[in-house]
Amino acid sequence: MEKNAKIYVAGHRGMVGSAICRNLKSKGFDIIITRTSSELDLRNQAAVEEFFATEKPDYVFLAAAKVGGIQANNVYRADFLYDNLIIEANIIHSAYKNEVKKLLFLGSSCIYPKMATQPLVEDALLTGLLEPTNEPYAIAKIAGIKLCEAYRDQYDANFISAMPTNLYGPNDNYDLQNSHVLPALIRKFHEAKKSGADKVEIWGTGSPLREFLHVDDLATACVFLMETYDGKQFVNVGTGEDISIKDLALLIKDIVGFEGELTFDSSKPDGTPRKLMDVSRIHSLGWKHKINLREGIQSVYKSYREHLEKTGS
């Protein structure tokens, strides 16, 4: 990417989009185009078409999406399918019509079949049934991958896709009903320590294995792929290392300094038994994550405490 290129980051207020903006600015890219959801409803095709026709971005990072944890995915099934389908379709089509040089679409590791062989290789896509709780979101993300492939095949558009593993970092969602597991655990342990509680309840059995990537590492990978990768095949982005939910809880418990007990509510869904990415493809391209899990959680917890102090929460 040229330093004077116009770069549109869709979803710039979200955890991923804001990390991409920070990374681009640190590398000297100054012309970053953004719109809030109140300024531009990405579900409105006419509005998106007008935006692209007016702004004419050179590069697009498609990080805008309706996202949430296992509970939100399962409850708001229609919203997760419709909103994500329409957002990605509008942006990808307008990017093609306005001759965007390159677009990066961001998916999710939930695109893989529930019982796919671990670690998850890119070729495992569409080889089995999806995890039922987040099937609508996964189908929308698979559609985004296929849209990029189809526009490449039919129109020779340089549209690429990256599939990140579970993410955490600045601007995460800490709502206990709708957040992902890692920020939810940070909040639970912090509040339990503050209130003097003697135990913290964890959803599920604690046995599922999950991989976690700091969002700043993902942002580095996204910019790296935008600058160096032009392949049709989407690329996994992760650490290649996983941890059980129980061990994650114990790690966060230690970082927060909570001294009580853990209990597990097995009536709550576990989701996929294991979800570990095969990251050999992106490693072979020359990228590897840098932030280890303990260091990453420590920095996130520090930011979380500072936010609570600022807001008086």
Residues 286 and 198 occupy one common structural domain: no
Structural domain includes residue 299: no
CA distances from 74 to 83, 116, 231, 265, 277 (A): 15, 21, 33, 18, 23
| Pair (153, 203) in one structural domain | no
pLDDT at residue 271, rounded to an integer: 75
Asked if residue 298 is part of any domain, the answer here is no
pLDDT digits (tens, 9 = 90+) for 54-70: 999 999 999 999 887 66
Q: Is 141 annotated as a binding residue?
A: yes
- Give the number of domains in the chain: 2
206 is in an annotated binding site: no
Q: Does 136 lie in the same domain as 255?
A: no
56: left (phi over 0), alpha (psi -120 to 50) or beta: left
Task: Check the annotation: does 296 bind a ligand.
Answer: no
Are residues 215 and 123 part of one domain?
yes
State mean pLDDT over 11-36.
97
Positions annotated as catalytic residues are 137
Residue 250 domain-assigned? yes
The CATH number of whichever domain residue 261 belongs to comes to 3.90.25.10
Element (DSSP H or E) covering residue 213 = strand 212-214
Q: Is it the case that residue 36 has pLDDT exceeding 90?
A: yes
Is residue 200 located within the same domain as residue 82? Answer: no
Per-residue pLDDT tens digits for 234-260 = 999 999 999 999 999 999 999 999 999
**Are 150 and 45 contained in the same domain?**
yes
- Which two structure tokens, joined as six digits, stand for 179? 């957040």
**CATH for 95:** 3.40.50.720
DSSP assignment of 103-172: EEEE--GGGS-TTPPSSB-GGGTTSSPPPGGGHHHHHHHHHHHHHHHHHHHHH---EEEEEE-EEE-TT-
For residue 26, being part of any structural domain is answered with yes
- Is 109 in the same domain as 250? no
Residue 258 is which amino acid?
Answer: F
Find the domain containing 49 and state its range: 7-171+211-242+276-292
